[in-house]
Amino acid sequence: MNRKIIIGTRGSELALWQANHVKASLETRFPDLTFEIRTIKTTGDRILDTALSKIGDKGLFTKEIESALMSGEIDLAIHSLKDLPTTLPDGLSIGAVTSREIPHDVLISKNARSISALPGDARVATGSLRRKSQLLNLRPDIEVSDIRGNVPTRIEKFLASDLDAMILAFAGMHRLGLDEHIAQVIPVSEMIPAVGQGAIAVEARATDGEVLDLANKINDADTELCITAERAFLRELEGGCQVPIGAHAVCVDGGVRLDGFVGSLDGSNVIRETITGVPEEAVSIGQRLAAICIDRGASEILLEARSEGD
């Protein structure tokens, strides 16, 4: 291959960290090739004054980048995997998922060291319905506020506000060197992460065999296995990143354990289930867990959540 490989990404600090991480990994393996990063603004980047749940979630942070990929403007698209819809556009394929960072959520707090230590009248910020549902299930006595912006912007807004705490993903905080602000890494037993949280997706055209072969060299098999189960769970529930659904898969004892969560917006009705299976059945594991949740009323909970969010 003698062509330059163009890598498309959003322009936030975290997105650029992810793109540069992928670029460096590829350059290490293919020192004779040239890689260039190109930033693309997405719908989610342009609309900053509206809650994400109010503006839809299908490709909110990916659609424009995928359009550039399909048109040949770029050769690789880099996404936070949690932002990537479970059904890709025709002609596109995930060429790799990188080794996953710790997928947990974290508490950013001015005084309390944990969710349980927050005062009864605490105001906690999050832009995620999944986090809101689980937070209110744990602490129905607190008030949840919406917050938007990239990670440094949210930190800045939080420090200048009268908010008591905020919840973000560990991966973004750690990758940007903001660990000093973390009060608690929230255990999965309290808050199940978003599907794919902590993983980076490398997307390419399905017909571009050369580029897919390049991407495959930085694929992490264990991460791919886990996110396959998680995304199958989400796909079966017809969910997206703006509905109160979470999943967390880990490789244990030669198999895969998958924790799933579905909850109401006020946290009063929550379903949590866990199943295990063999690696070869990653998709089936996600589908089976979704079926268990549906039997327990997940469809009704999500229908109500979607109607309340409209």
Give the tens place of pLDDT for each residue, 291-305: 999 999 999 999 888
The full length of the chain comes to 310
pLDDT tens-digit map of 57-93: 556 678 899 999 999 999 999 999 998 989 999 999 9
pLDDT tens-digit map of 265-294: 999 999 999 999 999 999 999 999 999 999
Taking the complete model, does pTM exceed 0.85, yes or no?
A: yes
Instruction: Calculate the alpha carbon distances from 95 to 68, 84, 210, 243 in Å.
Output: 16, 13, 11, 26
Tell me how far apart the alpha carbons of residues 256 and 189 are, in angstroms, rounded to a whole number.
17
Residue 240 has pLDDT above 80, yes or no: no
83 catalytic? Reply is: yes
Tokens coding 160: 């200048």
pLDDT of residue 59: 63
Tell me how far apart the alpha carbons of residues 97 and 223 are, in angstroms, rounded to a whole number.
7
pLDDT tens-digit map of 9-62: 999 999 999 999 999 999 999 999 999 999 998 776 655 555 555 555 556 678
Q: What is the mean pLDDT of residues 124-136?
A: 95
What's the mean per-residue pLDDT of the chain? 92
pLDDT of residue 309: 60
Q: What is the mean pLDDT of residues 143-153?
A: 91
pLDDT of residue 3: 77
Residue corresponding to tokens 């009704």: 300
pLDDT band at 1 (very low <50, low <70, confident <90, very high): low
Backbone angles phi, psi at 112, to 5 degrees: -75, 145
* Chain mean position to CA 193: 8
Tell me how far apart the alpha carbons of residues 167 and 116 are, in angstroms, rounded to a whole number.
14
Q: What is the mean pLDDT of residues 195-203?
A: 97
Query: From its phi and psi, is residue 201 left (phi > 0), alpha (psi between -120 and 50) or beta?
Result: beta
Residue 251 has pLDDT above 70, yes or no: yes
pLDDT of residue 263: 96
Catalytic residue among 57, 83, 164, 259: 83
- E strands, the chain, are 5-9, 35-39, 76-80, 92-97, 105-109, 123-125, 143-145, 165-169, 182-185, 200-205, 245-252, 255-263, 270-277
pLDDT of residue 256: 97
